[in-house]
Amino acid sequence: MTWLSDPITFITQWLQHLLAGWGLSPGLVQFLMDFIGAGALATGAMLFVIFLIWYERKIAGRFQDRLGPNRVGPWGLIQPIADMLKIFTKEYITPDGADKFVYNLAPILMVASVLLMWAVIPFAVTIYGVDLNVGALYVIAVGALGELAIIMAGWASNNKYALLGAFRVVAQLISYEVPMVLALLVPVLLSQSMGINTIVKAQQPWFIVTAPLAALVFFICSIAEVGRAPFDLIEAESEIVAGFNIEYSGLKFGMFFVGEFLHAFTSALIFAALFLGGWQGPGAVQYPILGFVYFAIKTGAVYFLTLTLRFSVPRYRIDQMMAINWKLLTPLSMAVLIVTAVIEKLLQSSPAAVTDLALFIANLVVFVITLELMRRYAGRQRRQENQKAAEPLVQQTGISA
Amino acid sequence: MQITPIQLTFMLAAVITLGSALMVVSARNILHAALWLVASLFGVAMLFALLQANFFAVVQVVVYIGAIAILVIFAVMLTRRVMQDSGPQVIRAWWLAAVLAAAVFAGLVVMLSSWRGFWNLPPTLANPDAPLVQLGLALVSPNAYVVPFEVSSVLLLAALIGAIYVAFQRK
């Protein structure tokens, strides 16, 4: 029954036997298998975006008290395919004075940076691209390529709004990388490995229990890294028209669109893998397909949460966005990292349950302290504002009549 | 001679690294030079990956492409006359630099050829995690590199505080 409980391994073995049966050398067979695997994974991810677009539009519709796409196909399921065909037929417009090579390279790099992340995500106990021992860091590294793509797009478009948008995005992405990496270190610390496979296996219980604050910081940062509401200053329509991708049309714009949708989903995948136990669940080791289902459910829940935020929270101002990062998330993630490291070291010899409980309580304490500090900060801000409002206008502006 | 896939990949990485490095100094458009620099640094990351130094390959991408290259691009964009520079690209004594570079390269090759690892393919590591753990321990061990590590951390912190001080506007 392996073909039912573990279909990917079954197909892989079958294909391996087939290729070996053709008299190819083992090295070549391995090379071809890697090639086919990477191609299948990337194609699957790209095709999955079609479903994601439909799902997101449907959810958006429900949040805004309307039906969403419902004309093409049952429940509007074929709508994204129709949209896709439309975008294929659109004209490519290259702006005058654009840097052609860089302009055309940017959308490709954008999608590639997201697809590269899929290489290290374990979808089930036997289904993963590669078990890289620095997987967690790798995810951050290939994310940097996306930043590069955005700055290339913004510069090559020869448009001031595009360039302004790109500067903004890169400032946002680089800033939010700091607390993201710090929060990422907590699961690395707890599992004593940077490989995502090992991190998933080490989650007894899930890291959202032993490191809830790190999970919270990571979640917020991953939304900011994707650049979706409430962090969608990237394409603040009212300020910079559409941001870095303003000059792109047709499928080149489509690539940015696909990149964004895929990145949002990939963030949910990574969150589920790092903090929600990945494919872990009852019977997931014996029947890998079950693990795949668990992973899909967990990812779906996280993705739904990001969508909820996207459709219900207004956009931050740029100074608020920076303040949240540097005044709240970065210090908080540093505190969590230090507290986790100290507790982990102090309770090294005690049973796992005691350590987990201590970590959970410590996180709660840090959370309460953070809330109290935030309350005081907000109170101070409000008093200052009230004081300012009470002063006569002459003093405020410094202009005397 | 049979060329193994790893040798082929090495040659590809070497060509990417050197070719892009050449383009960095010969490109007229300074932003293109910065992007070629990214490609060159990526080639170095490939070389690290080929040596099974996954950690260094990834750190190379995070630090050099994710941070330094983007900083360089920012700086280039904030400079005026990005594409209007049309002076000569070589100085008069270019042959001197070429001779010097060739001499350094030859010296390095001669020196490295006496090392026994020069003619061998890299061995496959039994435990790929081990070097990473050793590196981590060496950075915090008093018998190894804890002092240089801490000193460089303090230096970076000082640079950070200095940058904030320079940019800070007293209200």
Of the pLDDT bands very low, low, confident and very high (cuts 50, 70, 90), residue B140 is confident
The residue-averaged pLDDT of A31-35 equals 80
Residue B90 lies inside a defined structural domain of this protein: no
- Let me know if A338 is exposed, middle or buried by CB neighbors in 10 A (0-12, 13-18, 19+): exposed
B73 plus B148 within the same structural domain: no
Comparing CB atoms, the residue among B54, B62, B73 nearest residue A133 is B54
Query: Residue B18 pLDDT > 80, yes or no?
Result: yes
Q: What mean pLDDT, rounded, does chain B reach?
A: 83
- Asked if residue A58 lies in contact with residue A307, where contact means CB atoms within 8 angstroms, the answer is no
Q: What's residue B85's pLDDT?
A: 63
Token couple for A154: 């913004």
Instruction: Spell out which residues of chain B touch residue A104, defining contact as CB-CB under 8 Å.
Output: none
Query: Residue A105 pLDDT > 70, yes or no?
Result: yes
Token couple for A288: 């890998």
Enumerate residues 65 to 104 of chain A having a beta carbon within 8 A of any beta carbon in chain B.
Answer: 99, 102
Q: What's residue B56's pLDDT?
A: 86
Q: What's residue B122's pLDDT?
A: 67
- Let me know if A361 is exposed, middle or buried by CB neighbors in 10 A (0-12, 13-18, 19+): exposed
Q: What are phi and psi of A101, to 5 degrees?
A: -65, -50
Q: What's residue B21's pLDDT?
A: 92
Query: Residue A286 pLDDT > 60, yes or no?
Result: yes
Element (H, E) at A375: helix A352-390
Query: Residue B104 pLDDT > 90, yes or no?
Result: yes
- Asked if residue B60 lies in contact with residue B49, where contact means CB atoms within 8 angstroms, the answer is no
The residue-averaged pLDDT of A26-31 equals 76
Residue B121 lies inside a defined structural domain of this protein: no
B9 plus B66 within the same structural domain: yes
What is the model's pTM?
0.86
B1 plus B66 within the same structural domain: yes
Q: What mean pLDDT, rounded, does chain A reach?
A: 84
- Asked if residue A155 lies in contact with residue A224, where contact means CB atoms within 8 angstroms, the answer is no
CA A105, CA A108: separation in Å to the nearest integer?
A: 5
Would you say the ipTM is above 0.90?
no
Of the pLDDT bands very low, low, confident and very high (cuts 50, 70, 90), residue A401 is very low
Listed range (A7-11, A101-105, A143-147, A190-194) with the worst mean pLDDT? A7-11
Q: What's residue B154's pLDDT?
A: 95
Subunit contact B70:A148, Cβ cutoff 8 A: yes
CA A29, CA A44: separation in Å to the nearest integer?
A: 22
B13 plus B72 within the same structural domain: yes
B3 plus B58 within the same structural domain: yes
Subunit contact B67:A141, Cβ cutoff 8 A: no
Q: Which residues of A53-78 are buried (b: 16+ CB within 10 A; e: fewer)?
A: bbbbbbbebeeeeeebbeeeeeebbe
Q: Which of A248, A265, A234, A261 is nearest to A170 (CA)?
A: A234
Query: Residue A10 pLDDT > 70, yes or no?
Result: yes
Subunit contact B55:A137, Cβ cutoff 8 A: yes
- Asked if residue A69 lies in contact with residue A58, where contact means CB atoms within 8 angstroms, the answer is yes
Q: What's residue B83's pLDDT?
A: 60
Query: Residue A203 pLDDT > 50, yes or no?
Result: yes
Q: What's residue A337's pLDDT?
A: 92
Cα-trace Rg, chain A = 24
- Asked if residue A138 lies in contact with residue B58, where contact means CB atoms within 8 angstroms, the answer is yes
B76 plus B11 within the same structural domain: yes
The residue type found at A6 is D
The residue-averaged pLDDT of B5-18 equals 87
Domain boundary among B82, B98, B118: B82
Q: Does A244 touch chain B (CB under 8 A)?
A: no
- Asked if residue A257 lies in contact with residue A226, where contact means CB atoms within 8 angstroms, the answer is no
Of the pLDDT bands very low, low, confident and very high (cuts 50, 70, 90), residue B171 is low
The residue-averaged pLDDT of B45-63 equals 85
Q: Residues in chain B, how many? A: 171
Residue B107 lies inside a defined structural domain of this protein: no
Segment A373-382, tens digit of pLDDT: 989 998 998 8
**In sequence order, which ranges of A313-351 are alpha helices (DSSP H)?**
318-323, 330-346
Residue of A33, A101, A134 for testing the chain B interface, max B β-carbons within 10 Å = A134
Work out the minimum CA distance from B88 to partner chain A, whole angstroms. 23
Subunit contact A147:B55, Cβ cutoff 8 A: no
Segment A232-279, tens digit of pLDDT: 776 666 666 777 887 888 888 888 888 888 888 999 999 998 888 888
Residue B109 lies inside a defined structural domain of this protein: no
Subunit contact A134:B73, Cβ cutoff 8 A: no
CA B138, CA B132: separation in Å to the nearest integer?
A: 10
| Contact residues of B toward A, CB < 8 A | 5, 29, 31-32, 35, 38, 54-55, 58-59, 61-62, 65-67, 69-70, 73-74, 77, 128-129, 132
Contacts of A174 (CB under 8 A, 6+ apart): A147, B67, B70
Instruction: Spell out which residues of chain B touch residue A142, defining contact as CB-CB under 8 Å.
Output: 61
Domain boundary among B82, B99, B134: B82
Return the biggest CA–CA distance within chain B.
Answer: 72
Per DSSP, the residues of A183-220 read HHHHHHHHHT-S-HHHHHHT-SS-HHHH-HHHHHHHHH
Of the pLDDT bands very low, low, confident and very high (cuts 50, 70, 90), residue B138 is confident
- Asked if residue A246 lies in contact with residue A159, where contact means CB atoms within 8 angstroms, the answer is yes
Comparing CB atoms, the residue among B38, B128, B132 nearest residue A148 is B38
Q: What are phi and psi of A340, to 5 degrees?
A: -60, -45
Q: Which of A216, A211, A189, A210 is nearest to A356 (CA)?
A: A210
For chains A and B, what is the number of CB pairs under 8 angstroms? 68
Q: Which domain holds residue B53?
A: 1-82
In chain B, the number of structural domains is 2
Enumerate residues 4 to 63 of chain A having a beta carbon within 8 A of any beta carbon in chain B.
Answer: 27, 31
Residue B97 lies inside a defined structural domain of this protein: no
Domain boundary among B82, B111, B134: B82
Subunit contact B31:A145, Cβ cutoff 8 A: no
Residue B4 lies inside a defined structural domain of this protein: yes
Residue B100 lies inside a defined structural domain of this protein: no
Work out the minimum CA distance from A112 to partner chain B, whole angstroms. 15
Per DSSP, the residues of A96-163 read TT--HHHHHHHHHHHHHHHHHHGGG--SSSS--S---TTHHHHHHHHHHHHHHHHHHHHHHTT-HHHH
Segment A168-182, tens digit of pLDDT: 888 888 888 889 989
Return the biggest CA–CA distance within chain A.
Answer: 95
Subunit contact A143:B65, Cβ cutoff 8 A: no
Residue B98 lies inside a defined structural domain of this protein: no
B130 plus B78 within the same structural domain: no
Instruction: Supply the CATH number for residue B11's domain.
Output: 1.20.120.1200
Query: Residue B1 pLDDT > 70, yes or no?
Result: no
